[in-house]
Each structure stands twice: as C-alpha cells, then as structure tokens.
Structure 1
C-alpha cells in the first residue's frame, strides 16, 4: 500500500496498523442531524487510509500524501493547522489515553465535492488509534470522538451524521440513524437490482462550511426550537401551529427540518416495500426545500439538479451541507450518459466548467486493512 510505503520512508519502520474509513453521500435527511432528527447516508467507495504506530513520548508526527512537504512533528496538539487539525483533534479528545503517535494518511475522496473527507480522516485515525492503544471504543464512540474533534478543535459545528456513516455503514446498505438516540440500522439499498444507480454530480462549486453559513443555520434552528419550547425541531408534532408562532428565517428553517424528517421515513418505507424506483419524487422535494426553505443551495446545485431530471433522472437533490459540493441523481443505468450530457450542456450554456461525475455504490464503513 502507498500509505505503508510512505510511513516506512518517513518514520523508519512499518506501521503497527492500517485502517480505512470512507466518505459518505447522504441519500436524504439534510440539516436534520443537529436537530436531533433522522438521516439516511451511505458510505462511498472513496475514503482515507491511516497508517499508525503508538509512541511513548507524547509527540505526534503527522504525514499526508496529499499535502506538500514531509512529516510534521507536534508536541502540542493545539498548534496544528489545516488538515492536521482533524487528526490531532481526535488525539486531543482522547487525552491521556494516547501517549503520542506516528500517523500517515492517504486519501482519495474527491476534494471539495461535499463527500466528507474530514469525517473519513477522523474515523480512520480514531479507529487505528483505538486499536494500537487497546481503548475498547465502539464504532459509534469513535464517530462521536470525531464529531467532537471537529466541533471543538476545528470549530465546525457539524452533527453526527458524517462520522457515523463513515464508522457504521455496511456495504450494499444505507444507514438509518436517529441522531438523538444514536440508534441505527442498515437498510438494504440494492438499486442495481432495479436497474438504477446513484450518480454523483460534483459541481466543482465552492464548498466551505466553516465560513459561517452552516453555523448560522444551526443557530436559527436552535432559536426556533427555544421559541417553540421544544428541545429540538425534531420534537415539533404540529407543524401548522409551529409555523404560526414563527416568522422569517426561523419559520422557513423549521418547515424544512420537520418535512425533511418525514421524507426520510417515507423513503425508507419505499425501500422496504421494494419501490426504490419511486423515491425520486422525495429527492426532488428535498432539493426544493433546501433551496427555498433552508436556503443552502447555490446556482450550480440548482442547475445540476434541474438538468439531471430534464435529462431523464428520476429525481435529484443537493447532498451535504450546501453552498457548493455535489448533487445526487437517481438514474436508470441506461440513462446515466443522457443525464450527464444534459447537465454538461446546461453548465456550458452558463459558461461554467464541466462538472465531475462519479458513480457511487454503497460501500463498507471503517475497516482494518493491515
């Protein structure tokens, strides 16, 4: 493995263990996770591989095959920058249970596509460190450590969805997660049996959630919940009454979260009934809600979703936090090229560069490679 060779060259010995954790795409359930709601992501075939050995001197040495320069040595974890923060944040959360580490990482998650390379990095490092220090952490505990690292160390107020999908997903399945109780179950997602697949359309548009918009949406949801006297918007049971008590952006955010939770449950119902071909309408409705109620789309996302459906996709929606990133399209396998042509033509008409297309199948969550 490339990461093993790089580890050996940088640190002078073989790693004690090597773990891989995938990125994710969210089938449906957007901006519901930090509202204690429901999500339905699945792991993608691309991720981050971490080679790790323990140290006894408290020093952390970090190497990324995607970053310029050689290994970086840190004696204080709060001095890290850039990609290092995600790995160092996991070690910082673990505290005295970890006495230092040599870490090399190699990733192939398409950058900027909104497929959560950060969670893949956190979970791969967390899983490897869990093994080498015999910490006895469960996959969900590793996911929670990754989330806390991103919240407290990186400053990104994300929910638990990305890390849970990376840690817990099962090949050929989507992961249904209740973000309050953390109860989860894997839901079979065999689209190929129905002649379908998920096409990821990487719009190549700006995707940076730490710029304040994500945090602003979360604050608006929390404020709306306080106004309504509930712990989280997941607890709203009378939507009409709630909307009557809210105004402006908080009203719109509540509308999206409550209806999106319903869409997650409805989509699972269709999958369980063997009606995967009918989930497209829910994807379309989710995108419109994210555009009009949650206001996290950008023109590149809207044009891609609309052009995909015009080209023959059964449904399409933005996936991830928004403000750029990717659209997913539910497409008959024999219509994939037509969908791609439609989106490419729409982008050319706008004078935008051609999107990148990725064909995704539900992959395995975090796993030991060596």
Structure 2
C-alpha cells in the first residue's frame, strides 16, 4: 500500500560571493537560479525506497535503513530517512526526480534535491515545519548521512531564496534579507566543463584546515578575526592562508551587499575579482583552467567574475551588462570550447 503522491520543487543556486565561510561564521550572498528540480514523492507503508531520475537510466532500489554508498541516489535516500525521523512519512517512499541542474556544477543539485524531498514530505504530512527548519534538516542529511561537512548556505538559498534577488545570509544566526539584483546587469553562470564531487575528500580537507586554524585562535568564527592579526600570527601555512581567506571573504561579502544596495556595479565586480584571487591563492580551491576562464571573462568585458561553489571544478559566476551579454558570452565560449552557458539571473 502507498499514500497519495505529492509534488515539490527547489531551485539551483549560485553564490555571488562568500565561498567556504558558511561554516566559519561569515556572511554569504547566494541567489536562486531559474534552473532547478521537481520531485514527486509517494509515501510507502514498507521500508523500501525507489528513486528514478531523468539523468539516469536505471531506478535505484534502496532501503530506509541503508547507509550512504556514494551512489547517485544517496541524497534522496538520506532525505527520506530524515523525513521518516521527523515523522513526516511513516515508511519509505517512491521518488521521481526531474532536474535541469548539471551534476557536479557547484550549483547545489544535492541541496535542492534534499530540500525538495523534505518539502514534499511536509506537504504529504500537512506539517507546519518552516522553510528555515527544512534547510537545517537538509544540512543534517549532507553532514550526517552523506558525510559532506558543508555549511548552511546552500540549503537556506534553495529553501528560501526568491528569483531576482540575492540572499544576504548570516550563517551563524540564520538571519537573512533579500537584496535586489541590478536590472541592467546580468548575473551569468558558465560551467567550466570540469566536474567535481563534494564527497571526493578535498572539500573535507579544506574544512579540516579551517578547524585547525579555529583551534589555534580559540574561536569558531574565523570570519570575525582581524585579517591583519591573522597575517602576522605564528600559525603555519596552509592553515594561516585558510583563515585569511575566511576573514577577508566575509568583508568582501559585506562590501558586495553594500554595492548591490547602492547600485555600484564597479564595486561589486571588484569584490568578486578579489574573491577569486583569494580562492586561488589563499584557499587554493581553484584550477588553472578555471583561473583562465575567470581572467578571460573579465578581459572580455565582465565587471567581475569568480569561481563559485565548493571548488576544484564547476562554474564561474560573472556580472555583465545586459546590452553586451550576448557578444561577451560568444567570445568567452569561443575561447573556452569545453565551457558552456548554464543560465543568467
């Protein structure tokens, strides 16, 4: 026996600025994308979970008690397990997924999937659990079930962000406000052609290095530290460099928020450019091919560009005047034949 099918959706997200600081006490500035995914969830009375997705030819047959196995269906299984723990469903579920978010793009496909499933389970149960709590529970799935030591940014963005706005999010308090995006500039997302998985270990290694820096300074909030104090400290590299990125990136996010509010696109672009340099040199999460893509994006006329997402592949985000968007994009993709246009905000 099974219950009534329910439907839910969640967007992908792009982070304009504020990378790897959502688990270090910083502000971030993500925005919802027009691409996303839709989920149909049918509760089951037994403990079976089936997962079908438009990106895969086979249906995954899993169980409510199964551990993560680095299978593509893990986010869905973890989400169903969490929904069961929250008593939003009584057993397993049949899940059907339709997604337009590229895998390994750094645009939060896993967060969107988990959030959408939890929202579908909420609808099935008639629960009043808030979107913020959905985001918190979705993060638990990634942290505890999938073993990805991510912060809260992705889940908050795909659970609460509104199209046409960026979310200024305090990742410590979860206080957030929406900031209008510029009307005469586009926020453009271009995939580098290089994919990565957050479970491949490099994301976790970077978080571990941040944890070492936290222990050295005796704080959970690297972003609150004075960058000059970090630069002159006796903390060894690479830990000092990781902390320096966090403290300076947090300040760049604040500058970017002010720039958006005042319509100062040059200041926004400068903050994005400086962010990429910090990710490249201090956090060491970029790749030469992505550095070249970012450099050409700016050289061809973008006001600012940077790597976005967890790093080691995925997408760049750029801010470009709408009246030169098409020519700029054609030139950029002409130079980087492995790259592809994902979308614009």
TM-score normalised by the shorter chain: which range applies? Answer: over 0.9
CA deviation string 1:267-291 (max 9, x = no partner): 1111112323531111100001100
Superposed counterparts of 1:237-252, under 5 Å = 238-245=226-233, 246-252=235-241
Secondary structure of the structure 2 residue equivalent to 1:83: coil
Secondary structure of the structure 2 residue equivalent to 1:110: coil
Return the alpha-carbon distance in structure 1 between the equivalents of residues 163 and 245 of structure 2: 30
Q: Which residue of 2 aligns with 1:368?
A: none
Return the alpha-carbon distance in structure 2 between the equivalents of residues 259 and 118 of structure 1: 28
Q: Which runs of 5+ in 2 are unaligned?
A: none
Return the alpha-carbon distance in structure 1 between the equivalents of residues 227 and 318 of structure 2: 29
Instruction: Name the structure with the higher helix share.
Output: 1
Measure how far apart 1:81 and its partner are: 5.2
Give yes or no for contact 1:233–1:257 (8 Å, CA) kept in 2: yes
Q: Which residue of 2 aligns with 1:221?
A: 210
Give the root-mean-square deviation of aligned CA atoms.
1.9
Return the alpha-carbon distance in structure 2 between the equivalents of residues 335 and 316 of structure 1: 15
Q: Which residue of 1 aligns with 2:172?
A: 180
1:307 aligns with 2:296: yes
Measure how far apart 1:345 and its partner are: 4.3
Q: Which residue of 2 aligns with 1:264?
A: 253
Q: Which residue of 1 aligns with 2:280?
A: 291
Give yes or no for contact 1:140–1:168 (8 Å, CA) kept in 2: yes
1:356 aligns with 2:340: yes
Return the alpha-carbon distance in structure 2 between the equivalents of residues 229 and 45 of structure 1: 41
Q: Which residue of 2 aligns with 1:282?
A: 271
Superposed counterparts of 1:1-370, under 5 Å = 16-70=5-59, 72-78=61-67, 82-96=71-85, 97=87, 98-100=89-91, 101-189=93-181, 191=182, 193=183, 195-236=184-225, 238-245=226-233, 246-347=235-336, 353-361=337-345
CA deviation string 1:18-50 (max 9, x = no partner): 111011000010111011211100011111111
Q: What TM-score, normalized by structure 1, do the two folds share?
A: 0.87
Pair 341,172 (structure 1): closer, same or farther in 2 beyond 3 Å? closer
Pair 281,106 (structure 1): closer, same or farther in 2 beyond 3 Å? same
Pair 26,217 (structure 1): closer, same or farther in 2 beyond 3 Å? same
Give yes or no for contact 2:223–2:248 (8 Å, CA) kept in 1: no
